[in-house]
Amino acid sequence: MRIGIDVGGTNTDAALICDDQVLAGAKSQTTEDVTSGVTSVIQKVLQASGHSHSDVSAVMVGTTHFVNAFVQRKSLLNVACIRIGLPLGSGIPPLVDWPDDLREQIGEHIYMIGGGSYFNGHEYATLDEQALQQAAEDIKAKGITAIAISSVFAPVRPDIETKAAEILNRHLGTAYITLSHQVGGIGLVERENAAIINASLQALSRKVVPSLHQALKELGIDAPLYLSHNDGTLMSTDYAMQFPVMTCSAGPTNSIRGAAFLSGLEEAIVVDIGGTTSDIGGLSKGFPRETSDASDIGGVRTNFSMPDVLSIGLGGGTLVKHDEQGIILGPESVGYQLTEKAMIFGGDVLTTSDIAVANGQMKFGDASLVSHLNEEFIDRVCQAMKSKLESAIDQLKISAEPIPVILVGGGAHLISGELKGTSRVIHPTNSDVANAIGAAIAQVGGRVKRLFDYQVEGGREAALEKAKQEAINNAINAGAQPGTVKVIELEEYPMTHVQSHAVDVKVKAVGQLGE
């Protein structure tokens, strides 16, 4: 019996699942400390199901703690940014593309170190250990405890970063060190950015994760705790504390996974309609489709694993206006103040929820307060909402063929009827807690993303087999049952611009959580 929890900006959702059956769902307002909101929603979902705390065998949490902290510039550590690449790799310095306020938050503590390799793994300069020692002395004098190490083509030669970390540890003792090859892919600046973000969140991760453990302890739940990964799988709390950046897109990811579970579909477009926005993502083989583009987090470009999600200003609290040009939807929203400002609750602001209630699509609040709305006007607003969503879905589709669309989230019933460019529209049961369900049913994942030289590895088949086995082993080491692990994703990107047999290989394997 598992409890899945998704901590959102407005609500914290929970779902209790046993043997692939949803026993109960619950919502609670997200609290500033987050932990008390998690405690409250667990008590609600257990009470609704009639089960006790001792029945719970695992708890899975998807949280926006870390991405919110970075976006809001809160609770961030000063970071020492060490780039290994001289005499090459200095054309674009670290942090050059960061917003000014973020650079001030983490400090511009930049250390350029000699060493590095070409794309084929051959060193063009040995690691400058003396420069590293001098950097360590300066870092220690400044009292900095978070360090991000990046080197040129680190996914090919991760040992260069690893050796640098060993040297720093000898001189600094205790420090939070993030190695870029552990969080990002090919592309020095974006990978370096991901490592710096991760390093800046280290202190917060060591506060948040233990507080979640403490919440379970206070509730009397003696069960393992897992956090949701960006790619729709689970990670241990130790891994999450080391790599908090890997939780940044857990919310949309959990919704997509939950939609797949509730609908039984493996290929579809998922629309998660909340209070302020709608998050639209692709579902491929039962998992979120990952973006191939650089991802923007708080104004910083990164290249680690993120779902391909498009957010638009359409939610249950979206303001509805009209003028000579026609219907205007948002982008303003009343958000969590819906129950105070919307007309169906006695307020004076017309929202999309008011329209849905007036049209009979949703039943909450007082429908009599919107009974005066003109039927033609209601139809025009409904059509405007559908058109806005149809346009966004069209952007996410990878072919012109009609594809099923699954609507989930608290505002899922804002949309009714057919949508252009889709084969069917599905409103699954328990769609309002799809995000929590996605957390509860998540599997354990193992990943490999690095360059392989097919000639050196003994040919393409031998190299791919090595990569697949490595991903499978990573999943098992993360807690997956050995007999259940399978490879669900394999991608090859030949490096056509270089004279070698180098190929960027990406493999993902998943398996059931071990007992």
Evaluate whether 463 touches 85 at the Cβ level (below 8 Å). Answer: no
Contact 275, 333 (CB under 8 A): yes
Structure tokens at 305: 């694993």
Rounded-to-integer distance, Cα 92 and Cα 83, Å = 11
Query: What was the pLDDT predicted at 226?
Result: 92
State the architecture of 267-430 in CATH terms. Answer: 2-Layer Sandwich (3.30)
Amino acid, res. 332? E
Express as a percent the part of the chain with pLDDT over 70: 98
Beta bridge partners of 164: none
Q: How confident is the model at residue 412 (pLDDT cuts 50, 70, 90)?
A: very high
Ranges 64-68, 175-179, 207-211, most confident: 175-179
User: Could you give the C-alpha distances from 41 to 25, 53, 180, 208, 433, in angstroms and in order?
Assistant: 9, 13, 36, 17, 12
- What is the token pair recorded at 241? 């504390």
Q: Where are the alpha helices (DSSP H) in 243-336?
A: 250-263
Q: Which of 146-150, 260-264, 293-297, 403-407 is the least confident region?
A: 293-297
What is the pLDDT, as a whole number, of residue 249?
82
| pLDDT(185) > 90 | no
Among 27-36, 148-157, 168-177, 493-502, the minimum mean pLDDT is found in: 493-502
Secondary structure element (H or E) that encloses residue 161, with its range: helix 158-172
Nearest-angstrom CA–CA distance, 229 and 468: 20
Confidence of residue 78 (pLDDT cuts 50, 70, 90): very high
Fold classified for 1-72+204-248: Nucleotidyltransferase; domain 5 (3.30.420)
SS3 content of the chain, % helix, strand, coil (to 5): 40, 30, 30
Please give the pLDDT value at position 466. Answer: 94
Average pLDDT over the chain, rounded to whole?
Answer: 90
Q: Rounded to whole angstroms, how far apart are CA atoms 445 and 244? A: 16
CB-CB neighbours of 215 under 10 Å: 22
Burial of 32 (0-12, 13-18, 19+ CB in 10 A): exposed
Query: Could you give the CA distance from residue 508 to residue 449 in angstroms, rounded to a whole number?
Result: 9
Contacts of 3 (CB under 8 A, 6+ apart): 14, 15, 16, 17, 42, 45, 46, 56, 58, 59, 60, 440
| Rounded Cα distance, 274 and 412, in Å | 8
Confidence of residue 407 (pLDDT cuts 50, 70, 90): very high
* pLDDT of amino acid 149: 97
| Interval 150-174 mean pLDDT | 92
Spatial separation of the C-alpha atoms in residues 148 and 196, rounded to whole Å? 5
On the question of pLDDT at 506 being above 70, the answer is yes
Return d(Cα 444, Cα 476) in angstroms, integer.
Answer: 8
Kindly report the pTM of this predicted structure.
0.83
The residue-averaged pLDDT of 108-131 equals: 92
Give dist(CA 214, CA 39) in Å, integer: 10
Above 80 in pLDDT, residue 246? yes
Q: Write the pLDDT tens digit of every residue in 380-403.
A: 999 999 999 999 999 999 889 999
Task: Return phi, psi of residue 364, to 5°.
Answer: -160, 165
> Does 514 have pLDDT greater than 80?
no
- Classified as helix, coil or strand, 349 is strand
List pLDDT tens digits, range 316-352.
Answer: 999 999 887 789 998 888 877 888 899 999 999 999 9
| CATH T-level assignment (fold) for domain 79-200 | Rossmann fold (3.40.50)
Tell me the Cα Rg of the chain: 24
Q: Angle at which helices 129-142 and 158-172 pack, to 10 degrees?
A: 50
HSE, side-chain direction, 13 A CA sphere, residue 273: 26
